[in-house]
Amino acid sequence: MRFLELCETFERISKNRSRIYITNELAALYTRLNPEEARALSYLLIGEISPPFRAIELGVSSNLILQALSTVLARSKDSLEQSLKRWGDIGDFIHVHMRERKINPLMNNSELSILDVYNYLHKIARENTQRGKVDIIINLLLRMNELEGKYLGRMIVNKTRISVGVATVLDSIAQARGVDREIVRTIYYLVSDIGLTAERVFLGDLSYKIQIFNPISPALAERVGNSEQIIEKIGKGFAEYKYDGFRAQVHKRGREIRIFSRRLEDITGFLPEIVEDFQRISNDVIVEGEIVSIVDGKPVPFQELIKRKRKYDVLKYSNMIPVRMYAFDILYLDGVELYSEPFQNRREVLSEFLREKDLERIYLSEGMVVENKSQLDIFFNKALDAGMEGVIVKRLDSPYTPGQRNHNWIKLKRISDTIDGLVVGYFYGQGRLRDYPGSLLVCVYDEELDEYQTVAKVSSGLSEEEFMKLKDRFVEISSPYINLNTRIQPDVWIEPNTVVELNYDNITLSPTHTCASSEFGGRGLALRFPRIVQIREDKSMREVTTVSEMISLYRSQGENQSTGTEGME
Ligand code: ATP
């Protein structure tokens, strides 16, 4: 299939962002593809060329694109640079300049296929020199029309603008092949690789199997209001400390060890001590746990710990902040897939497995069976005394459900819950903030509709200086290009890549917000008196709080609290 057809589809779906429309359009593309093409298309649709844990970087800045364009258009790089500043988005910029191009040397009717472009992108990534990368881009642009140039530019330097959600891509694959969408989703969550999922489905392989060294998408915890509600939902369950660190999934086969983050990135290089410990083991295994650091008997706050993740500082920080892992699940052991076993069995296997080993830094997570509210309350207080952020209670008979947030795991935290939302735009402030962001428009994510819905307009929690700094961080765009359901029009739309953690007094119904509005007769859920706690640098737009979580938070606070007016400040 020609790359141009993909670009035309992108154009159409950027104008009609309904989930059904997008799924139909993409399914129509998929029906014409073979497994290899389906694999390539799946990566391209989400703006990638590989799964996140392979992290194949193109290594191309907008500067290199400008160099390439300067050759293709025979214009000085300086003048192009000025023009790019005006356009903002690299795609629109390339589009307009290529359209104006007088000479059109090699193409009239582009013949590049999706696979050609995908292979060229890999070639760019493999090329070591900047000059070499520029030459490949020149070669590509000379064979493209302006529309293809627009999307090539976005794929290379601004992939957040290729904004089809993973869920929509999976549904399109299911629709094109006439397969139940839950089957396709399960296959995906087990291997966390959209290209591999597409290829398997297109080859007719619908079996559920994990692939060692492909992270299994992490199971997530639901929340309810209090310990009583947990017992109501779960009955007899297993309560564990909720450690405040970062999640890691360790895969080991033979001598090879890889460690993956919650965001499915390969973080092996950041955790040399953990690798060393696993090297003492002869088994093949997938173990999951929380990485924490205890210095002078106290847990090191998450924000400090995360500094280790900066590549070049690992050695420095591994001395200053030594880490350990509290293992809480085992998903595979010596050829046996354990993720579908009941939790209770997995816990037994895990504790047996760790007991036999002479490991220095891998501990079993602290936990106990609880049958009623008072047992859970006692354990919860013990967790808080030990400096934990709360507990997670797990259903004894539940399988590990990759990528799902459900009531198999329920968390209960010390401080009132916060939510993580995506900033999509801002309003100018007052006084010193007249030309700066003064309040931010924040959204949560509806998994069913694959769209973002507004939940707060927040203007407190940061100092004036911090608000001012946001201006440099935010990149202005002319209109939102994600699937966004909003009744509010901010002064400035921004690229959707900043996630903020918000706390709030309570959740209320509001006519201005759209979160879950179809559930509540047109009024949406909104945060009353929202405050910014921090910017969640470790989270991407795909990991914000979901609409279904908002609904359960709202319901758990009790109907009597929820009738106030919205606190927009
Ligand atoms: P939060 O901001 O509350 O940590 P989150 O969105 O990052 O929420 P949740 O799904 O709500 O993640 O909570 C589960 C997280 O808690 C896991 O991803 C893991 O990192 C951490 N965790 C700590 N201790 C445990 C444990 N014993 N069992 C499972 N997860 C644990």
Percent of the chain with pLDDT over 70: 93
Element (H, E) at 318: helix 314-320
Residues whose CB falls within 8 Å of the CB of residue 177, separated by 6 or more in sequence, listed in order = 30, 201, 202
CB distance 411 to ligand 1 below 6 Å: yes
Query: What's the 220 CA to ligand 1 centre distance in angstroms?
Result: 7
Residue 397 alpha carbon to ligand 1 centre in Å: 20
Check if 217 has its Cβ closer than 6 Å to any atom of ligand 1: no
Gap from CA of 278 to ligand 1 centroid (Å): 23
Closest ligand 1 atom number to CA of residue 244:
23
Ligand 1 nearest-atom number relative to CA 240: 27
Beta carbons of 290 and 325 less than 8 angstroms apart? yes
Taken as a whole, the chain contains a residue count of: 569
pLDDT per residue as tens digits for the range 442-498: 999 998 888 999 999 999 999 999 999 999 999 988 888 788 999 999 999 999 999
Question: Quick one: pLDDT at residue 470?
Answer: 96
Name the residue with the closest Cα to ligand 1, atom 19.
Answer: 247
Closest CA to ligand 1's atom 25: 242
Write down the pLDDT at residue 51. 95
Tell the residue nearest (CA) to atom 8 of ligand 1: 221
Q: Which residue's CA is the nearest one to ligand 1's atom 18? A: 247
Q: Is the CB of 145 under 6 A from ligand 1?
A: no
Out of 223, 240, 243, 412, mutate this one to test ligand 1's pocket (max ligand atoms within 8 Å of CB): namely 243
Please give the pLDDT value at position 413: 87
Mean pLDDT, the chain, rounded, equals 90
Residue 352: what pLDDT? 95
pTM given for the model: 0.86
Q: In Å, how far are 81, 443, 480, 486, 534 from 501, measured between CA atoms?
A: 35, 11, 21, 20, 5
Whether residue 347 has its Cβ less than 6 Å from ligand 1: no
Distance from Cα 318 to the centre of ligand 1, integer Å: 23
The domains found in the chain, sorted by start residue, are 3-156 (1.10.3260.10), 220-413 (3.30.470.30), 418-563 (2.40.50.140)
pLDDT for 563: 40
> Could you tell me if 286 and 249 are in contact, meaning their C-beta atoms sit under 8 angstroms apart?
yes
Which region among 28-32, 356-360, 532-536 has the lowest average model confidence (pLDDT)? 356-360
Nearest CA to ligand 1 atom 4: 244
Mutate to test the pocket of ligand 1, among 241, 305, 411 (most ligand atoms within 8 A of CB): 411
**Residue 315: per-residue pLDDT:** 65
> If you ran DSSP here, which 8-state letter would residue 289 be given?
E
Residue nearest (by alpha carbon) to ligand 1 atom 31 = 242
Residue 254 has pLDDT above 90, yes or no: yes
Question: Tens digit of pLDDT for each residue in 115-125?
Answer: 999 999 999 99
SS3 65: helix
**Assigned token pair, 508:** 């209320």
Residue entry with tokens 């007991």:
355
Report which ligand 1 atom has the smallest distance to the Cα of 417: 3
Q: Which residue among 259, 323, 328, 363 is best mutated to probe the pocket of ligand 1, counting the most ligand atoms within 8 A of its Cβ? A: 328
- Cβ–ligand 1 distance for 362 under 6 Å, the answer no
Closest ligand 1 atom, CA of 501? 2
Atom of ligand 1 nearest to the CA of 543: 6
Q: What would the pLDDT profile of 387-397 be if each residue is shown by its tens digit?
A: 888 999 999 99
Q: CA of 107: how far to CAs of 140, 141, 144, 242, in Å?
A: 11, 10, 7, 59
Q: Is 242 a catalytic residue?
A: yes
Distance 332 CA to ligand 1 centre (A): 20
